[in-house]
Amino acid sequence: MNLSTIKFNKLLRGGFFLLTALLLSVPAMAQEEAAESQDNDEERIAKELANPNTTLGTFAVPIDFIQYSGTLNGANQQFGVVANFQPSLPIPLSPGLNLFVRPLIPLVISQPVYGDGGFEQKGVNLGNISADIAIGKTWSSKTITIAGVFGGFPTATDEQLRSKFTTMGPEFMVAQIFKWGVAGVMINHAWSLNTLDPVEATQMGMHSPLNMGLAMSAGMGSPMLPASMNGERASITAGQYFYTVNLKNGWQIQGQPTFAYNHNGAKGSRLTLPVGTGVNKVTRIGKMPIRLSVQYWHYVAAPEGFGPKGQIRFQIAPVIPLPW
């Protein structure tokens, strides 16, 4: 077992320890009746949070531990850690109709970058910020549709992590609420608003992780956008399929893997697709409801040269009061 794998496993064990500590941090209720009432309340909140058109505000903090593989020398020994900050602020317009504003701010804690001397790890950096604005509608059939616009911005503080493109495009989601839970899919397509000149496009080369097809998901339908491999513009179809199975006492089985297809990417570096599943638990810290979750994604398709192999996502999502 190499040193990078040992470090990766230590990070995962640390994350599991943190999640377990949080789950055990809420004191047990003194009376059985009060405990049952709290469990029912947590179960109700968990079901509401699974609704893509919920009116509950959250401040999600997904933390991703990613293991990589590929044909580049040293690719199989690389790992990365990214923390994301994504508040969801639904604004009710009318019963069943909501406006969503969802910025996504990634903090790259550790990211492998391939350069002239091989791979090197980049330290703590702000990533490329993205955001979407959408309107959601819950129909009488319990079908949910959401439509809006998605944008990505080159804000990373490290030049090798920074996207060369400002992107924008439409997004659409459809989901169905069942007795057992929720299932659906969200898709967006982003085009670059700017064009690289030939010199800039050449300078990106294969040394940029963006050009090697990294489509690491940072949130709902908002991956890091790989740059064009054979042109000077970006065209990315991306999204997320999701499902939630409701259990008792605020527990859920849930998967939210994200995917991306780089239309301008080199052959073998266009599709990034994981399969995954995990568990959620809604509990309380003091009076604040909070959703804790862990998921594992295995990538069945990824860029050949360098791409994700496996990913564990821990997420902490406090339910926050809205100002309206």
- Output 132 or 324, whichever has higher pLDDT: 132
| Tokens found for residue 42 | 């947590």
- 98 neighbors 135 (Cβ within 8 angstroms): yes
User: Can you give the pLDDT at residue 15?
Assistant: 57
Amino acid at 128: N
- Residue 187 β-bridge partners: 172, 239
In this prediction, residues 103-107 reach a mean pLDDT of 96
In this prediction, residues 17-24 reach a mean pLDDT of 55
User: Can you give the pLDDT at residue 227?
Assistant: 40
User: Can you give the pLDDT at residue 210?
Assistant: 39
pLDDT tens digits along 187-216? 999 999 987 765 554 444 333 333 333 333
Task: Determine which of 37-41, 117-121, 245-249, 303-307 has the lowest per-residue pLDDT on average.
Answer: 37-41
Q: Measured between alpha carbons, how far is 145 from 119 in angstroms, rounded to an integer?
A: 43
- 90 neighbors 116 (Cβ within 8 angstroms): no
- 87 neighbors 170 (Cβ within 8 angstroms): no
- Output 182 or 286, whichever has higher pLDDT: 182
% of the chain residues with pLDDT over 90: 66
How confident is residue 264, by pLDDT bands cut at 50, 70 and 90?
Answer: confident
Residue 324 predicted with pLDDT over 60: yes
Closest residue by Cα to residue 214 from 150, 295, 303, 122: 303
Task: Quote the radius of gyration of the chain (alpha carbons, Å).
Answer: 20
Distance in Å from the first CA to the final CA of the chain: 53
3-state secondary structure the chain: CCHHHHHHHHHHHHHHHHHHHHHCCCCCCCCHHHHHHHHHHHHHHHHHHHCCCCCCEEEEEEEEEEEEECCCCCHHHCEEEEEEEEEEEEEEEECCEEEEEEEEEEEEEEEEEEECCEEEEECCEECCCEEEEEEEEECCCCEEEEEEEEEECCCCCCCCCCCCCCEEEEEEEEEEECCCEEEEEEEEEEEECCCCCHHHHHHHCCCCCCCCCCCCECCCCCECCCCCCCCCCCEEEEEEEEEEEECCCCEEEEECCEEEEECCCCCCCCEEEEEEEEEEEEEEECCEEEEEEEEEEEEEECCCCCEEEEEEEEEEEEEECCCC
In this prediction, residues 247-276 reach a mean pLDDT of 93
Q: Measured between alpha carbons, how far is 216 from 225 in angstroms, rounded to an integer?
A: 8
Task: Determine which of 218-227, 248-257, 277-286, 287-296 has the lowest per-residue pLDDT on average.
Answer: 218-227
Neighbours of 223 (CB within 10 A): 24
Using a 10 angstrom Cβ sphere, with 0-12 exposed, 13-18 middle and 19 or more buried, the burial of residue 283 is buried
Q: Share the mean pLDDT of the chain.
A: 83
Which position has the token pair 């602020």?
89
pLDDT tens digits along 309-320? 999 999 999 999
In this prediction, residues 161-167 reach a mean pLDDT of 91
Residue 105 predicted with pLDDT over 60: yes
Q: Measured between alpha carbons, how far is 38 from 40 in angstroms, rounded to an integer?
A: 5
Instruction: Mark 174-198 as b/e (b = at least 16 C-beta within 10 Å).
Output: ebebeeebbbbebbbbbebeeebee
Residue 4 predicted with pLDDT over 50: yes
pLDDT tens digits along 129-157? 999 999 999 999 999 999 999 999 999 99
pLDDT tens digits along 283-298? 999 989 999 999 999 9
How confident is residue 222, by pLDDT bands cut at 50, 70 and 90?
Answer: very low
User: Can you give the pLDDT at residue 80?
Assistant: 95
Residue 16 predicted with pLDDT over 60: no
In this prediction, residues 268-287 reach a mean pLDDT of 94
Amino acid at 69: S
